[in-house]
Amino acid sequence: MRLRRCHCVVIQPRERFTIDLELMLRETPRLASTFEWVALAAHLDAEVRVDLDEIAVLGKVSAHAWTDRSQLEYEHPTQTLQSLEAKGLLVAEHTATANADDSVRTTHWEGLSAVAHRHLRWRDIDSERERGRFQELVEGEPLAHLGPPPATSVERGPPEARIALPGTPASPLAALMARRVTCRNFDPVRPLAPDDLASVLGLVFGARAEATVTGVPVLKKGSPSAGGLHPTEAYLLVRRVDGVAPGLYHYHAVAHALEPLRQLEAAEADALALRFVAVQRYFLEAPVLVIYASRFERNFWKYRQHAKAYRATILDVGHLSQTLYLAATERGLAAFFTAAVNEVDIEAAFGLDPMTQGVIGVGGFGHRADTREEIEFDPLHAVWPA
């Protein structure tokens, strides 16, 4: 049996605070600190606690070459090796842990990005509950606790030194952008027409042309994409679209077609939608949710272990989301985007491996309700009367 170190791991010092009753009773009550090291590996969902002996051995085992266990046992304490293997930081050949580690290697992740992506994902987070906890912590007065926010704009000289620019002329694009307001009041009853679904998906995610550039097959789409690679896939949770059964789908960018993955009962679709958007109830009534999932393997195939590659995949999603906002607004629909999502739950529903196809955010679109119950940022009264 041969072993090697996992591909990407970051060791972090941690200080945990606990209330020590004895210290509390002293004149100046203090929190007690405990210090520990944790390992965050790109192929493991959970961080693991490690000690200094384990860290020392981990630093001496190759992550590239496989080494015979007997050779390692000759060089290092068997107990430490066993503990590292049990924690998944040393990987044995032909095991499930090795497969998970392989998906990080073969996708060509840059190490820090891989660890950040894996460990910043949410599972079963309820943002309503979190908001309540935050309000309790700041005693309902966030500004008093956070202090004043940084200014809305930056000034790099005195006002008299500024060169005034002409105003932005009226145009169809300016008018369209003025009506773009993140929607938190979707019509809870009105379904989406199939034409609206098809048009928005086609404009945002559909391929306008297929080509080969320097031997690489690429697609032309309505938004820019790093390296022209278009790694972002649209997965859908359809809830109320005429003629389309509620369920999970994948949008095929070249065929401009829906690929059915799983049909859902209405109650199950509701529960999944709520979980996907971390219990932001105001997004629940959107008739269709769009999961922006980045096929990292496609971008990283070109930008291997590249410091900017992960960032580029996220920026791609930002461009697509703005295009979706505008495409929906143009059809008289409303849209939203949220980064507060339970990635792990979405991966489970769609069968996605987080290191090869990772969830970046969730959007949605549909008809806006006639009445406003939840806040929308519309200071110009472009969609809501004053």
Ligand X SMILES: Cc1cc2nc3c(=O)[nH]c(=O)nc-3n(C[C@H](O)[C@H](O)[C@H](O)COP(=O)(O)O)c2cc1C
Q: What is the contact surface with ligand X in residues (CB under 6 A)? A: 181-182, 280, 337-340, 377
Q: State the nearest-atom distance from the C-beta of 74 to ligand X, in Å.
A: 52
User: How many CA atoms, within 13 angstroms, populate the side-chain half-sphere of residue 41?
Assistant: 28
Q: Which is nearer to ligand X, 67 or 182 (CB)?
A: 182
Q: Which is nearer to ligand X, 278 or 355 (CB)?
A: 278
Q: State the nearest-atom distance from the C-beta of 166 to ligand X, in Å.
A: 24
Q: Which is nearer to ligand X, 249 or 337 (CB)?
A: 337
Q: State the nearest-atom distance from the C-beta of 372 to ligand X, in Å.
A: 13
Q: Which is nearer to ligand X, 244 or 320 (CB)?
A: 320
Q: Which is nearer to ligand X, 151 or 209 (CB)?
A: 151
Q: State the nearest-atom distance from the C-beta of 326 to ligand X, in Å.
A: 12
d(C-alpha 277, C-alpha 275), whole Å: 5
Q: State the nearest-atom distance from the C-beta of 184 to ligand X, in Å.
A: 6
